[in-house]
Structure 1
């Protein structure tokens, strides 16, 4: 965030212990960002191990949606995906602020993963079996309560985030009570959908409120929460890679595009190129040379940036699964085509919104085009892709080819227009000779 100075409070290394005292790694003290250590944080190995499980869970949800593309199935997909995002976010925040990598945290990650296995196996069946509903909701509630309990315990071991942690714990417990009607068979499935929707929205609102400047003013805190921004960016990028993994996994496993060169193989390659370009656009941000990341700019860009990752992931996950399916089947159903184009198109729109949140600090005229002109093709491309299924004369190969061409065009446009004015496409090669050869040549010339 702007206007914040940073100082470090390095502490001496303590002897190893199986269970270490969890201490806040960074915090705000009277508006000043303080870090316990200036060393760069990277995602822990067990955080990455957790991500492996999400690969399978997300693939299961996307496959279940693609099997029967209806409005009801889409609603179910969103409602079972959002809670897994909340669980992942709980762990992300915990590791960002209190990473100790001791036995307790490793066991806690394993515990959450075990609950996610229960959740992932039952969530797709919530509308068909009451026992699956109980297992899904129960495992989710236990996972969230476990994370809340850890934050409550940590509030006793470190005072830096204490008021906000306890506020979040109290309000989140109230939010979880909203899920109680899902356990009753007498409640209709339509009512349960409404209950789950309200609960998910309330959970998001509570999280934003508890860690916003508003709660800090109400609580009148001297010490408040802060995040390790590089670690936060790294974790979101890792989750985005998990989503893109849905594109590339199914185009190889089981050799769906064999044998030889055929239309399915072409669509598999197009799927790979689409995923690669989506990753390119995500990393490119708004293309500015001096770009202030939304997490560093202000809370008014940080919270939307974080929240937008949920619909971005949901849309690309669904669209990516169908894109990968195109390498298996000769043709796709109309519902699948709408899911393909709607998912990928919406993903491009969300990538546009995320790029808008970045603040360019380049002087006017530094780059070939201004920011809005550089990234506008994401929005245009997204809208075109969404409505591609209206062209009934296009088969799946043609649609995949058009999607691929549009996204590649968007990538080329942004990279070219992000060059500095007067830049050349080809940089001249210099200093290509060995130093000793250069000295020998100079000596020869002098003689």
Structure 2
């Protein structure tokens, strides 16, 4: 028996709608002589029926105008004034904000407005040319003004050159991770951080330029290309144990940073509305740049003091500037009001663009950890502990990806950037900590895969290139790289989760605070694993960390579900149910005399057609 839906027509007849095996709709009527016609929603007949219905109602409108002209004109004027007042009130309160701007997955914001008038939108629609201009005056995409966020009406999509930037970072992550794990030690980790943090800062500068300024001309693309060229030179001069390339590395970094400062100054001259903010960001670049230059002329180990002071200022000064723009409460009120008036307008980040770009960067980190596991097998059938450790590393990276995107990255009531200032700072800085930790952990994992101190790890099973890289003794520093990196990475992901305000589900099986507590407990266990080096070989170490990672994912999946949820889906076979809506359309019986169409129906005269307005096929 085909699933069907019975519909009662206005005259008492029954219409049965069913779906056969050929996905065709069958209509049956209880009477043998059907007196109705139907159209399927979205078809050409449906459009024709709507046009006929429109013409019919226009004829009724004209008939009413001819019968009561004065009353009709008065009603038209009142309706026009009502629509004008409604549009003006809507513009003052919501200003035509797109629903995805307020009610998307990043949470509701009552302080969100759009800043493009309708006439600008019409002018943009008239421009049909897609040529990339050499230069055009930049426009601030979004900005804050007196507590309100004004943003461009159109959605900010990821540009193609931003994806190009991400591809370059794949190589940067590989170079930094490999060099850090070649000779694992405290000095190697220190140099890894010194190289990784500035490169991450340059990536953030590119995202800031793209998110703030809407120009998309050749000048902007040239600015991005110059920063990428400096980043390329920075990567090729990353120093190892020797310090002969430190000067070149810092020179490329400062060239990119100071060039960004010049870009801000030029933008301040072209955009006086946000001039104070752009000047402030330029100063926030110049101050640590002076300390970076001074570090070139200081020998080790005194150089480390200047380096970390410069890194701290690179990371902290933009945050201090934001606090100043929003007003500092612990300074005299006169100065605080002066700062607020100075920064009456200041640019803002697009939350959707920032989250998408950061997610893409995190995906690169996950991708590096997986690519670093690849090796070449020399045996005929390579089912051995080498492959087992590599597959466990793959499962581990996949679990981290699930935690970041599917668990912590969903179910937001308020995103960290939209929630509070402190949550925004925590979200940004926790991502930097995560990138550093997971990259160093992934580099340590790539070396542990090639270790042949455990059972079923014959070094001759490896291709000769990887056979040379294999070793029989796992150093304690490599264990700390791997376990410590994973522990800090999971802890930083916990901080990212805390920064978000997730939706409160009162029937949730395990509250968020308890799930975060279990993550912290797992981090503590991982930090203790390197101390058991006498009892755990590389295979044991990777197996334990992977198993505990799976337990974190399992607890999150179970804990985020609600009581009564079916964890295995529906147990009933699916059924196709068709729903339909039927409308009876009457024709004008007097040839446009103005008599209402329902008059004949009241007299019992049936001159209309039944129109199948809509058909829905649902799976139950």
Question: Which of 185, 208, 211 lines up with 2:322 in the alignment?
Answer: 211
Q: Show CA shifts across 1:340-361 (max 9, x none).
A: 0010111111111111111134
Q: Which residue of 1 aligns with 2:139?
A: 23
Q: Secondary structure at the match of 1:232?
A: helix
Deviation for aligned residue 1:160: 4.2
Structure 1's 248 and 236: CA in aligned 2 closer, same or farther, altered over 3 A?
Answer: same
The TM-score, its normalising length taken from structure 2, stands at: 0.66
Q: Which residue of 1 aligns with 2:496?
A: 354
Mapped to 2, the partners of 1:214 and 1:30 lie a distance apart of 11
Please tell me whether residue 71 in structure 1 is matched to residue 186 in structure 2.
yes
Structure 1's 168 and 116: CA in aligned 2 closer, same or farther, altered over 3 A?
Answer: same
Q: Secondary structure at the match of 2:140?
A: coil
- Contact 1:341-1:385 at 8 Å conserved across structures: yes
Structure with greater strand share of residues: 2
Mapped to 2, the partners of 1:128 and 1:257 lie a distance apart of 39
Q: Any unmatched runs of 5+ in structure 2?
A: 1-107, 328-335, 454-473, 579-620
Structure 1's 333 and 94: CA in aligned 2 closer, same or farther, altered over 3 A?
Answer: same
- Contact 2:112-2:151 at 8 Å conserved across structures: no
Mapped to 2, the partners of 1:207 and 1:344 lie a distance apart of 29
Deviation for aligned residue 1:428: 1.4
Structure 1's 285 and 424: CA in aligned 2 closer, same or farther, altered over 3 A?
Answer: closer
Structure 1's 8 and 362: CA in aligned 2 closer, same or farther, altered over 3 A?
Answer: farther
- Contact 1:28-1:223 at 8 Å conserved across structures: yes
Q: Show CA shifts across 1:15-74 (max 9, x none).
A: 65222221111111221111122x322321111111111111121111111111111221
Q: Which residue of 2 aligns with 1:366?
A: 507
Question: Which of 490, 515, 527 lines up with 1:386 in the alignment?
Answer: 527
Q: Show CA shifts across 1:353-409 (max 9, x none).
A: 11111113415x231122101222221111111211122211110110111110011
Please tell me whether residue 128 in structure 1 is matched to residue 242 in structure 2.
yes
Structure 1's 114 and 8: CA in aligned 2 closer, same or farther, altered over 3 A?
Answer: same
Mapped to 2, the partners of 1:209 and 1:350 lie a distance apart of 22
Structure 1's 434 and 419: CA in aligned 2 closer, same or farther, altered over 3 A?
Answer: closer
- Contact 1:288-1:361 at 8 Å conserved across structures: no
Deviation for aligned residue 1:3: 4.9
Larger radius of gyration: 2
- Contact 2:430-2:492 at 8 Å conserved across structures: yes
Which range is displaced more, 67-76 or 133-142? 67-76
Mapped to 1, the partners of 2:504 and 2:296 lie a distance apart of 55
- Contact 1:295-1:305 at 8 Å conserved across structures: yes
Q: Any unmatched runs of 5+ in structure 1?
A: 437-447
Deviation for aligned residue 1:337: 1.2
Question: Which of 101, 109, 113 lines up with 1:6 in the alignment?
Answer: 113
Mapped to 1, the partners of 2:188 and 2:374 lie a distance apart of 27
Which range is displaced more, 365-374 or 308-317? 365-374
Equivalent positions of 1:86-105 (< 5 A) are 86-105=201-220
Deviation for aligned residue 1:149: 1.3
Please tell me whether residue 194 in structure 1 is matched to residue 316 in structure 2.
no
Please tell me whether residue 243 in structure 1 is matched to residue 356 in structure 2.
no
Structure 1's 351 and 290: CA in aligned 2 closer, same or farther, altered over 3 A?
Answer: closer
Mapped to 2, the partners of 1:266 and 1:346 lie a distance apart of 25
Mapped to 2, the partners of 1:142 and 1:406 lie a distance apart of 44
- Contact 1:181-1:195 at 8 Å conserved across structures: yes
Q: Which residue of 1 aligns with 2:587?
A: none
Deviation for aligned residue 1:415: 1.1
Structure with greater helix share of residues: 1
- Contact 1:287-1:414 at 8 Å conserved across structures: no
Q: Secondary structure at the match of 1:329?
A: coil
Mapped to 2, the partners of 1:53 and 1:258 lie a distance apart of 36
- Contact 2:230-2:256 at 8 Å conserved across structures: yes
Deviation for aligned residue 1:421: 2.2
Q: Secondary structure at the match of 2:346?
A: strand
Q: Which residue of 2 aligns with 1:423?
A: 565
- Contact 2:180-2:443 at 8 Å conserved across structures: no
Number of matched pairs: 430
Mapped to 2, the partners of 1:257 and 1:356 lie a distance apart of 47
Mapped to 2, the partners of 1:157 and 1:418 lie a distance apart of 49
Question: Which of 318, 321, 328 lines up with 2:440 in the alignment?
Answer: 318
Deviation for aligned residue 1:306: 0.3
Question: Which of 17, 21, 34 lines up with 2:150 in the alignment?
Answer: 34
Please tell me whether residue 168 in structure 1 is matched to residue 275 in structure 2.
no
Q: Show CA shifts across 1:148-197 (max 9, x none).
A: 1112212223344321111121232122101122332xx22111111110
Q: Which residue of 2 aligns with 1:58?
A: 173
Mapped to 2, the partners of 1:129 and 1:352 lie a distance apart of 36
Cα RMSD for the two superposed structures: 2.3
Q: Secondary structure at the match of 1:101?
A: coil
- Contact 1:123-1:133 at 8 Å conserved across structures: yes
Which range is displaced more, 427-436 or 65-74? 427-436
